[in-house]
């Protein structure tokens, strides 16, 4: 099973493509599906679920949760295999991780060595999360991804990979592969570190998609 574990639709404030477009792109590139991880939102899950069933694709309900301390961003946690949206307002990193696990999900620190906004106090939370996103195709440099892999390996943490796509053309630039038959087995494979990581850096020009997405959202909001 090959899954891109980090995808944003137009239900993120900087995404452009529909959930269906993301899924179609994944299938076209030989993947089995995606994890939909919109920013602080589960609004796209219903639309994505409908598209995945129509296209016979794998879909993981996820969310990229931005956590703040006062006005400063601490970092972002990727929640996978979720059952309901997690609102991070007023919550600490510990509380967000606890909520993800309460839902039976997996908590992964997103792009800890982000080229502009790294995850603060990474060592403080390494024993609370399940793992680290060790390959992010757009938000981390090659060096940043290498540092993430080394950190995860050193601390015996699970590893994931994703394109961080904000446009369907980016889907599949990074993904993980596991020899499993269903989502429950996939979750176990991640936690037991029985997955393979694949990826290539996206072009610097993909950063333009997020800017376009923000402009589109300023004038138009997609309706679920």
Q: Is residue 23 part of a domain?
A: yes
**176: Cβ contacts below 8 Å, ≥ 6 apart:** 2, 3, 5, 159, 160, 161, 190, 195, 196, 197, 198
Q: Is residue 176 part of a domain?
A: yes
Q: Which pLDDT score, from 0 to 100, does residue 75 have?
A: 95
Q: Which pLDDT score, from 0 to 100, does residue 218 have?
A: 61
Residue 212 maps to which CATH number? 3.20.20.140
Q: Is residue 224 part of a domain?
A: no
Q: Is residue 60 part of a domain?
A: yes
Taking 70 as the pLDDT cut, the residues of the chain under it are 208-211, 213, 216-219, 223
Q: Is residue 19 part of a domain?
A: yes
**Residue 45: which domain range?**
2-219
Q: Is residue 171 part of a domain?
A: yes
pTM above 0.75, yes or no: yes
Structural domain count of the chain:
1
CB 67 within 8 A of CB 75: yes
């Amino acid at each position: 099973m090959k899954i891109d574990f980090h995808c944003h639709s137009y239900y993120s404030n900087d995404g452009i493509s529909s959930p269906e477009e993301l899924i179609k792109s994944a299938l076209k590139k030989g993947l089995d599906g995606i994890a939909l991880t919109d920013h602080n939102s589960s609004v796209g899950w219903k639309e994505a679920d409908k598209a995945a069933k129509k296209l016979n694709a794998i879909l993981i309900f996820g969310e990229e949760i931005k956590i703040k301390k006062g006005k400063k961003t601490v970092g972002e946690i990727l929640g996978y295999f979720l059952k309901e949206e997690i609102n991070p307002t007023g919550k600490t990193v510990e509380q967000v991780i606890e909520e993800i696990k309460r839902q039976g999900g997996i908590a992964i620190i997103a792009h800890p060595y982000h080229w502009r906004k790294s995850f603060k106090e990474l060592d403080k939370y390494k024993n609370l999360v399940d793992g680290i996103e060790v390959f992010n195709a757009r938000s981390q440099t090659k060096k940043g991804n290498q540092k993430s892999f080394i950190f995860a390996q050193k601390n015996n943490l699970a590893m994931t990979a994703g394109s961080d796509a904000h446009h369907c053309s980016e889907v599949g630039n990074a993904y993980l592969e596991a020899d499993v038959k269903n989502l429950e087995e996939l979750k176990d494979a991640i936690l037991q570190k029985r997955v393979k990581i694949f990826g290539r850096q996206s072009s610097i020009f993909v950063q333009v998609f997020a800017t376009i997405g923000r402009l589109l959202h300023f004038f138009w909001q997609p309706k679920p």
